[in-house]
Amino acid sequence: MTGSAAIILARQLLQAMLASSFGVVATFVVLMAEPLKNGESHGGGIIAFVEQRISKPSQQHGIIAAPSDLANPMSWSDAKATCDSLTLGGFNDWMLPDKADLKRLFLSKKAIGKFQDTDYWSSSVFEPDSAWSQCFLNGKENIRSRQSRLRVRPIRKF
């Protein structure tokens, strides 16, 4: 049901309640937004992952990927700082994805688009001088020196 159809239905129910001679009638109408899907534009980027919680089915949570990589490969510390200070699409809560979120980006890479067949940084640290990365050619997770220069795709959560 579209938003406008739901509004018309709600108005008709209200009119029927007011015209009713049955006394007080309680009617509840739940208006639900269309579910979000991977690959759709939303919140300054592209939906990469959507989760609907069983306890609250009307609430969706997930990950939004920036529409494209940051301009140049960079070190881990530069990637983290750049993502943390990024304002894009009117939003300033972008971040470097952790290892699990980067895996979700890889699994949805066709729907999101514009990935290179190379390694991308995650925010997950392995040791003081190394961090996890994900290869977008074959899906392999790697441990790289934080000085390495890798691609970066910021995310935000909703």
Element (H, E) at 100: helix 99-107
Total count of domains within the chain: 2
Same domain as 112, residue 51: yes
Q: Specify the CATH number for the domain of residue 135.
A: 3.10.100.10
Residue 36 lies in a domain: no
The range of the structural domain enclosing residue 92 comes to 41-157
Same domain as 148, residue 113: yes
pLDDT digits (tens, 9 = 90+) for 37-86: 999 999 999 999 998 777 776 788 999 999 999 999 999 999 999 999 99
Same domain as 146, residue 81: yes
pLDDT digits (tens, 9 = 90+) for 11-28: 455 455 544 444 444 433
